[in-house]
């Protein structure tokens, strides 16, 4: 599940593969960039902002540009050595290929691809709340933004990237379990909102730099989460069957005992 940590890792892979390199050929397979040719452009750096990827480039006339992409649920970038077999995903999912003398970067099933002047990056990412893994992470600002929507459920508010950028469905479910808070709790009824925000940041930071996402501390398959993806399995704390239901546009997983509903539980599903 690409969340802030996955996107941060991906940005680092691209940075190591391409930063400082001159692009020797580009092949875009999305309609809006079909005629774009980055041959001769230079890669300055690769960065993440929440779940958005920003590949910063210099055009031959040295104007700074940014190639934006978003992984959503299923996108990925891979870096290959020249001549190495591309084993990331099926070829029909390729959306872009960037070649340099030392590496080939291949983007699979990318979303929201756009090439904009770097000065206009805010058009694409300016709406985001503080980035949990950004150099300018600001917990107090994230808490303030969450508090602007007191009646929204905390389960939806944590996913709203305008509040804080980087939490996806996995960490949302896990943070709520670890704090003992039902996903349906209105934001203004959440005890210790700053504590929840701090925990979310700590979880993403702890998983930065590796591809296995764990909230339990275990990296063993099947033991990496408390509730996410564990419908009907026993809660690791109390043994109650983990529940799964829709909340807003996403599903949520939770333990009805460890995360009691206030005032009353939703109808059994």
* Helices 139-147 + 193-207 axis angle, to 10: 130
| Minimum distance from residue 179 beta carbon to Zn ion (Å) | 13
Contact 66, 115 (CB under 8 A): yes
Q: Is 262 a binder of Zn ion (CB under 5 A)?
A: no
Contact 4, 131 (CB under 8 A): yes
Q: Report the sign of the C-alpha dihedral through residues 212, 114, 65, 116, in that order.
A: negative
Q: Is 176 a binder of Zn ion (CB under 5 A)?
A: no
Tell me whether residue 78 or residue 243 sits nearer to Zn ion (CB atom).
243
Residue of 17, 187, 193, 255 interacting with Zn ion (CB under 5 A) = 255
As to burial, measured by CB atoms within 10 angstroms (0-12 exposed, 13-18 middle, 19+ buried), residue 100 is buried
The alpha carbon of residue 175 and the mean position of all alpha carbons in its chain are separated, in whole angstroms, by 15
| Minimum distance from residue 258 beta carbon to Zn ion (Å) | 3
* Residue length of the chain: 269
By beta carbon distance, the residue nearest Zn ion is 235
Q: Is 196 a binder of Zn ion (CB under 5 A)?
A: no
Choosing from 44, 49, 51, 243, which is the catalytic residue? 51
Tell me whether residue 170 or residue 255 sits nearer to Zn ion (CB atom).
255
Verify whether residue 2 is a known catalytic residue. yes
Q: Is 258 a binder of Zn ion (CB under 5 A)?
A: yes
Name the residue among 102, 86, 117, 92 with its Cα closest to residue 19: 102
Q: Binding segment for Zn ion among 3-11, 190-198, 223-231, 250-258 (CB under 5 A)? A: 250-258
Residues 210-249 that bind Zn ion (CB under 5 A): 235, 237-238, 240
Q: Is 55 helix (H, G, I), strand (E, B) or coil?
A: strand
Tell me whether residue 218 or residue 240 sits nearer to Zn ion (CB atom).
240
* Site size for Zn ion (CB under 5 A): 7
CB neighbours of 194 closer than 8 A, spacing ≥ 6? 139, 140, 143
Q: Which residues are catalytic?
A: 2-3, 51, 250
Interface residues with Zn ion (CB under 5 A)? Answer: 235, 237-238, 240, 255, 257-258
């Amino acid at each position: 599940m690409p969340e802030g940590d996955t996107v941060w890792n991906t940005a680092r892979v691209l940075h190591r593969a391409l930063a400082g390199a001159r692009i020797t050929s580009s092949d875009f397979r999305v309609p809006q960039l079909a005629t774009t040719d980055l041959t001769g452009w230079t890669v300055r750096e690769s960065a993440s902002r929440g779940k958005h990827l920003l590949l910063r480039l210099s055009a031959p006339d040295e104007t700074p540009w940014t190639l934006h992409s978003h992984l959503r649920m299923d996108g990925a970038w891979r870096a290959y050595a020249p001549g190495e077999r591309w084993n990331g995903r099926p070829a029909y999912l390729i959306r872009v290929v960037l070649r340099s003398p030392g590496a080939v970067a291949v983007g699979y099933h990318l979303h929201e691809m756009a090439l904009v002047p770097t000065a206009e990056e805010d058009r694409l990412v300016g709406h985001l709340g503080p980035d949990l893994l950004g150099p300018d992470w600001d917990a107090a600002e994230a808490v303030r933004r969450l508090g602007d929507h007191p009646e929204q459920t905390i389960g939806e508010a944590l996913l709203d990237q305008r509040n804080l950028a980087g939490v996806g469905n996995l960490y949302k479910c896990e943070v709520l379990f670890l704090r003992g808070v039902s996903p349906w709790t209105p934001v203004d009824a959440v005890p210790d909102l700053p504590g929840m925000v701090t925990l979310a940041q700590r979880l993403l930071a702890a998983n930065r730099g590796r591809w296995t996402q764990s909230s339990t501390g275990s990296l063993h398959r099947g033991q990496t989460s408390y509730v996410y993806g564990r419908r009907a399995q026993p809660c690791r704390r109390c043994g109650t069957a983990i529940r799964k239901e829709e909340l807003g546009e996403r599903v949520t997983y939770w333990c009805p005992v460890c995360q009691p509903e206030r005032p009353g539980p939703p109808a059994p599903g």
